[in-house]
Structure formats: structure tokens, C-alpha cells
Chains A and B, each alone.
Chain A
Amino acid sequence: MMGGVRPLDGIRVLDFGWVAVGPVIGSLLAEMGAEVIKIESSRRLDYCRLLPPTVSVRGERSASAPAVPDFDKVSMFHNYNRGKLGITVDLQHPEAPALLGRLVARSDVVLENFSPGVLRRIGLHYEALRPLRPDLVMISCSAAGQDGPWSELKTFAPSLSSLAGLEVLIGYPNERVLGALAYGYADPSNAHHGALAVLAALWHRQRTGEGQYIDMSQLEATVGLTMEPLMDWFMNERVWGRQGNNHLSMAPHGHYPCCGDDAWVSIAVEDGDAWSRLVAVLGDVPWARDSRFATLAGRREHGSELDAGLAGWTRERTPWEVTHILQRAGVAAFPVYGLAEQAADPHFQARGLLTRPEHPRIGAMEVYAHPIKLSGTPGEVTGTAPMLGEHNDQVFRELLGLAAEEIERLRAEGVIA
């Protein structure tokens, strides 16, 4: 640890992000040392504040009392927004652009993931902000980018990855599309691609003093993850359907049944040497020595017999028994984990997967730490997500230097709201 240095010390970020992609960019930058100010409005709450848990309107949890969201205690909101300051400004108020413009003048980065045009309509687009802060770095990351026939596209993570050609790959071969609907793959992926662009622009600014505007398309970032099917189309006009657990250059490659309730183990064999190591530990099983399985092409061609043979061996063992046997032999294997096994796992614990920032009024909230581990200047989850409007006084009084009466006036007139 190098004297408490964090990579983004001294960088201030105005975070107009909402729901997922923008907020997760902000939380990553916060973890790495930036001061991130999340701009919200009680007139249009971030969707993630409206998820359960709910409390009754009288403040007690009860099945019969009318329930309202306990919007300061939503677990997912904390996962997406921890470590930020929070202010509330009604973006539709005529005085909002001037007030926020003063914050932009004191900030290094503005990030947003509204539909294109939302900030332009209220005068907070890049061309309007640049005169206030000539070296500003600003990123917009809408679903499809700022221009083009689909620029107004609205999506959730799985509908975006459906359009990107990723969900169509997910399912058992020759069967219907299943997709990965719960996992929400596209959102964190897009947040990471957005964060990378912001950091590259900050690097350029540090060297040259020049800021810039980044127009990111979530659709494009997700299409760029489908290299194999895309290249097969471009090269051979072949269309990929459901892939199961198949892999072009590994076999076996799949999740195999074990003894136990819904217990599975992942096994991947990357080359002929790994296949020989696997066959050696399987012991006296004639099927594995069948010449059809001697080459990758043969193992792929006869994949169902191969998988059935291997499943016959794994089924007699627990996922961890298989994992220990195979890892000792130098074959890639690991249990298929659920959340509980993952949280209890000593490896994930040693690497700090989960952490519990505390807040004097909200209490402790368990969140997943960002997975980029720096040995010398590690990031740190510095706190929970803010309560709604928690840092209005701190930001407007201490950062902007507004008098208490002025802050009261802005509240009374519904600008801070």
C-alpha cells in the first residue's frame, strides 16, 4: 500500500446516471478514489430505489399495512451506488441548469445514461457545459448511441443483449432460445466499457490538458462481445444457434451432474495433454480409451457419448470431490456455485468479494466490491449509497459556497427537491 494513495484521488465526478449502467460507472470511479456526486430528484426517483424491501406508511413492516418502498435501504441500489455523495435537484426546474452548471465548473467528469436529448432539452449537454469547464470529460452512454435511426431505443439488459446477438446463443442445441434473463450480463459489461473510456479520456487530459465528449453505444459494446458468431457470419455466412455448453476448441467442456441436490461440476479439457491427464485419473473406464475420443475433432463429433461417459463418473462423486481429483491431475474443474456457496467460499472471501459499508442511519449494507485488484493502491468501498438528498447541505454549502438562506430559497422554490 503506497501511503493511502488511490488512483483517482482529486477527481470529481457528477453522476447523472440512473438505474444501472451510469450508476455502476460512478461506483467504480468512487471506489478508485474519485469524489462522485450522484444527482437525483425526489420527483423522479431512480428506479432502483423503488424495489423492495418495503415498509408500511406508518414506518413499520407489516403485511397488511400499505407498503411504500424503503428507498434508502434497497440492496440493489446500494450495490449500484455505494460510495457516492447524493444531492437532489429537480432537473425540470428552470433554475436547475444554472445551479448544476456551477457544480460542473468544479468537476472533472460528467456521466449520464439518459435517452439522447434529455440533457440537451434542459441545457446540460456537452456543448453547453464545455464553456463552464473547458477540460471537462463527459460520457453519454445510451442504449444505441446519440444518433442514428434507433437512437431513442429503450432497453433492459436482456433485451439489449437480445438485439446484440448474444441471447440467441443461450439454450440447449436445436431447442428454443432460453437466454440469461436473470443475470443481466449487459449492464455491468457496459458500465465497465464506459468506465474504461472515461479513464482513457482522463489520461489524455492529464497529458494534454484537453477534455472531450464520449458518445458510447451500449448496443455496440455488447455486439463487440460476440466475435465468434459475427466472424463466422462475415467469413462463412453461417448463423449460430443455441450453443449449449459447447466450445470450438475444447471437449469435454460442460457442467456434469454430481451426487447431491442440483449439484454440478464444470470440466474443461483444452488440449490433447489435458485429455490424457483426464483419462489417467478416470481409472479403468474402457469408454474413455475409445479411439473416437483420441482427437478434439472426434471428441466434438461424439460429444453426447463423451458427456454421457464422463457424467457416469462424476455422478458418483460430489462437485468438490471431482474438483480436487481433477485439479490435482491438472484438469480444469470447479463446482457450479450458487450464491450461498460463493459467499462462504474461502477464496472469494480472501479476495474480498463482499464488503459491508456502514451508515449511521441506514446501518450496514452488504455489497459486491469491484473486481479490479490493485496491489499498491487498492480501491475501497468507502460507504453505503447516500440517503436521498443526504449531501445537499455539504455540496451546496461547502463545495459551492452558497449561504444557508440561498439554500433555503432553492429548497422553498423546489430547485433542490
Chain B
Amino acid sequence: LPEGEADVLNGALHGLRVIEVGDFVAVPYCGRLLAGLGADVIKVEPPWGDCARRHGPFLHDQPDPERSGLFLALNMGKRGVVLDLERDDGRARLERLLEGADCLLESQEPERLDRLGLTPGETRRRWPRLVHVSITTFGRRGPYARFRGHALQASAAGAASITIGEPGRPPLALPASQSDYQGGVCGAIGAILACFARERTREGQHVDVSTADVTAFSGGITSTMYTAQGMPWVRAGHRASRSGGSYPYTILPCRDGSICMISRSGHPWKAFVEAIGSPLWTRDPRYRDRARMGREYPDEVDALLAPWLETHTTEDIATICRERGIPFSVVRESREVASCPQLASRDFFVELRHPAAGTLRYPGAPWKFSATPWRIERPAPRLGEHTAEVCGA
């Protein structure tokens, strides 16, 4: 390994080589995290490209595989090669890449994995030191390992959807493929853990991440607060089931937007009641018992708050809450997130120039590493941009 000053600016995972064979969100998000942390990530696409290239949103709403916002954001920092894995020469090129790799990230359908000779058993036999990370909806083991699924099915199976939406109407999935992002970060964790284990065992292994498992875990650990108090794990519109035990645990509309209001201890609620001028109803014993208000008649309290909320803007309410230490927050749209002073002061958004999409802002990393800064040095690859460089002509 290189030593001395040149090493100082390397990312934490400098020296790890990762081959990514998976499209849309889960594997690409995993690869993006590892790339930003310093790994050399090579993205393998079929000749028709990652399906995120066809997903959008597109620059100026013009569909173009080089101008899909989701693809551009999830694949920055990687090199990209095109290989037709249905052909012998394509597979041979992938196999050569795997010879020199530390990790394979994949999310192929089981039938395709069999056909390509890339099952975990096969990669283990051929490349014993390779860490093989699968990120799929149901995992590679278990009765549903051959089921088809997407983030929607992970949200359904993971008991997330059942908690979102209004009673009697269709449940809602976690939005914008969130289960895939969670599978991605868990895949990245698994990749590094397996690399640590390899230091001792000298062997790679299979990391089997199921986005349904991750979704079930993520809500499950918190669901125990509800089940232990006899509150059902069901959807209850704009609030948590039974208000999570006490009022408020809700999102309510105000004059120009919405406010997320949660008060676990009594103090923030008391401070809020004072801030709205302690109207008469707040002295009624019926509206002083936060447990009963939350569990039995939250609609009544919502209606009593409505006149005040309807005459105040998100900015008014945010100011009042900040001054009084009330942890309510504004429900922000992407426009407000993009101009957030806190994110600006930490240089969270990064600007990158892409030859087809031009100069755009992108979300950066959530970490500041003191010794090994997170860094994205290149935009997402154009389709096949690095095939010659990586695989030879």
C-alpha cells in the first residue's frame, strides 16, 4: 500500500475493489456509499442500461438514459462498463473483473443468477476470497427466495404499509422505494463486516440482505412500544396509532403547510399551550389528560387546535417553537430542503458536472470524517463510459 502524504487524503475504504451488478436503487445505493467511502466501485450494466436510466425524473422532463435524476444521483463516484452477460465474452469479462475484486454486489433474479453461474455457491467455489453481497426483496434463502418483489413488497411484508394511510382505505407503502435504500446501507455494512472476517478466516462469504427483513426489523424494534402498551400496529391517518400513547403524535395542517407535532414528555405540550395563549378549552380537565386525549379523542383536540393553526404559517410556528424549545418541526418539501441554512452551512449538497446532464447539485454524505474525507470525484458514468479502460478494448 502507498505510504506517506499521498495516503492522507484517501477514503476509509481505499484499496477495496467492488463490482456492482444490480440496477434501480438497492445495489446502486450500496455501491454509492462504498464509493464515497473510498472503494473503487465498478458498475456493470447490460447493453440496455440500468433501469434507473429509464425511471427519471428527467432533466427538462425529456426522457434520456443519460439524464435520469435517480440514476445520476445513485451512481456518482463509480466507473461504468457495459457487458452483455447473456454472451460468453461478456461473462468472461465479468469473471476477470471478479478475479481481482474484494466484493460483488448483486440483486439478480434467481433464475438469471443460475444462468450466469453467479449463485453464492458458485462464486464461493470459483473465487474463495470474494465477498458476495446479495440485496433482494426476500433474500436468497427461505421459502420465498424465488418470489418476485420490489420495495413495494418489502414494505408490505415488513409490516410498514399496514401502519401508513387512513383506516378503511388502501395502506400506503414507504415512499420512493425506501426499503431499497435500507437494503443498500445494510448491504454496505455486511460487505465491510465480511471483509473484517476475511482478515481472520482468509475466506470470503455470502452476505444475504433481504429488503423485507430490513423493513421488518426497522419498524419491528419500535413496534414493541405499541404492542407492550396494548396499542395496535395499524394505520391511523395523520397520527401514530393511539397517538403512540399520548397527544400529540401527529401531523396537522397550518396556513401554508403542515407541522409535525410530537410531545413525549409533558413539557413541550405545556409550552405550546402557553404559546397559543392558553385558550379556555385547555383548562378543561378533558383536555389536560394527554393519555386519554391521544388514545380516545384526538380528533376533538385536532379540531380545537385548528383555528390557531389555520391562522399561522409554518414560519410563525417554527419561530415560536424554536424560542420556546418545543421540538415540533415543519413538514418540508424538497424546495425548502434544498435551501436549508443548516445543510448549506455544512456544505451538504455537492455540485458535479456531467457531460450529458450538465452541472447539477446532488445530496452529499451525512458524515464528516476527520482523517478520511468522504468524496465523490466523478459524476455517474455514461453508458459504457469505462468499458475500454476497465476491460481492455
A18 on the interface (CB 8 Å rule)? no
Measured CB to CB, the closest approach of chain A to B12, in angstroms, equals 4
B217–A169 touching, CB < 8 Å: no
A193 on the interface (CB 8 Å rule)? yes
Query: Given that A167-B331, A220-B364 are known contacts, is A192 also in contact with B182, CB under 8 Å in the complex?
Result: yes
A208–B334 touching, CB < 8 Å: no
Q: Mark B265-281, 1 if CB is under 8 A from A, else 0.
A: 00000000000000000
B283 on the interface (CB 8 Å rule)? no
Chain B residue numbers with a CB within 8 Å of A239 are 333-335
User: What is the CA–CA distance of A187 and B365 in the complex, to the nearest angstrom?
Assistant: 17
Chain A residue numbers with a CB within 8 Å of B222 are 20, 76, 79, 157, 182-184, 187-188
- A-B CB pair tally, cutoff 8 Å: 513
User: What is the CA–CA distance of A325 and B197 in the complex, to the nearest angstrom?
Assistant: 42
Query: Given that A179-B331, A245-B173, A336-B161 are known contacts, is A28 also in contact with B189, CB under 8 Å in the complex?
Result: yes
User: What is the CA–CA distance of A337 and B189 in the complex, to the nearest angstrom?
Assistant: 27
Contact among A126, A266, A369 for B161, CB-based, below 8 A: A266
Interface centre among A146, A165, A187, A203 (most CB of B within 10 A): A203
Chain A residue numbers with a CB within 8 Å of B229 are 51-52
B27 on the interface (CB 8 Å rule)? no
A183–B200 touching, CB < 8 Å: no
Query: Given that A75-B227, A234-B360, A236-B59 are known contacts, is A255 also in contact with B170, CB under 8 Å in the complex?
Result: yes
Chain B residue numbers with a CB within 8 Å of A20 are 222
- Does more than half of chain B's interface fall in helix, strand or loop, or is it mixed? mixed
Query: Given that A183-B164, A200-B192, A373-B209 are known contacts, is A346 also in contact with B185, CB under 8 Å in the complex?
Result: no
Chain B minimum-CB-distance residue to A3: B201
A348–B216 touching, CB < 8 Å: yes
A156 on the interface (CB 8 Å rule)? yes
Within 8 A of A (CB), among B122-161: 137-139, 141-144, 147-150, 152-153, 155-161
B164–A170 touching, CB < 8 Å: yes
A153–B366 touching, CB < 8 Å: no
Chain A residue numbers with a CB within 8 Å of B7 are 208
A388 on the interface (CB 8 Å rule)? no
B238–A207 touching, CB < 8 Å: no
Chain A minimum-CB-distance residue to B344: A148
Q: Mark A362-383, 1 if CB is under 8 A from B, else 0.
A: 0000011111111111000000
B80 on the interface (CB 8 Å rule)? no
Query: Given that A162-B330, A162-B332, A200-B37 are known contacts, is A181 also in contact with B240, CB under 8 Å in the complex?
Result: yes
Q: Mark A233-254, 1 if CB is under 8 A from B, else 0.
A: 1111111110111011110011
Query: Given that A189-B218, A337-B157 are known contacts, is A226 also in contact with B342, CB under 8 Å in the complex?
Result: no
User: What is the CA–CA distance of A201 and B199 in the complex, to the nearest angstrom?
Assistant: 16
Chain B residue numbers with a CB within 8 Å of A375 are 120, 205-208
Query: Given that A176-B258, A182-B236, A347-B142 are known contacts, is A376 also in contact with B338, CB under 8 Å in the complex?
Result: no
Within 8 A of A (CB), among B361-379: 361-372
Query: Given that A206-B199, A376-B201 are known contacts, is A165 also in contact with B239, CB under 8 Å in the complex?
Result: no
Measured CB to CB, the closest approach of chain B to A305, in angstroms, equals 16
B174 on the interface (CB 8 Å rule)? yes
Measured CB to CB, the closest approach of chain A to B299, in angstroms, equals 14
Chain B residue numbers with a CB within 8 Å of A153 are 342
- Can you report 20 A-B residue pairs in the complex whose CB atoms are below 8 A from each other? A76-B225, A148-B345, A159-B328, A162-B260, A163-B329, A176-B238, A176-B253, A193-B367, A202-B196, A203-B16, A217-B346, A227-B69, A233-B334, A236-B57, A236-B60, A239-B333, A255-B161, A372-B209, A375-B207, A376-B201
Instruction: Knowing that A335-B156, A337-B156 touch, tell me 19 more A-B residue pairs with CB under 8 angstroms.
Output: A7-B194, A172-B165, A178-B251, A185-B160, A196-B188, A200-B38, A203-B195, A214-B370, A223-B348, A236-B60, A255-B170, A327-B147, A339-B223, A342-B159, A342-B216, A347-B142, A354-B220, A374-B193, A376-B204
Nearest 9 interchain pairs by C-beta: A231-B69, A376-B205, A221-B366, A212-B371, A266-B156, A371-B213, A220-B366, A150-B342, A200-B12
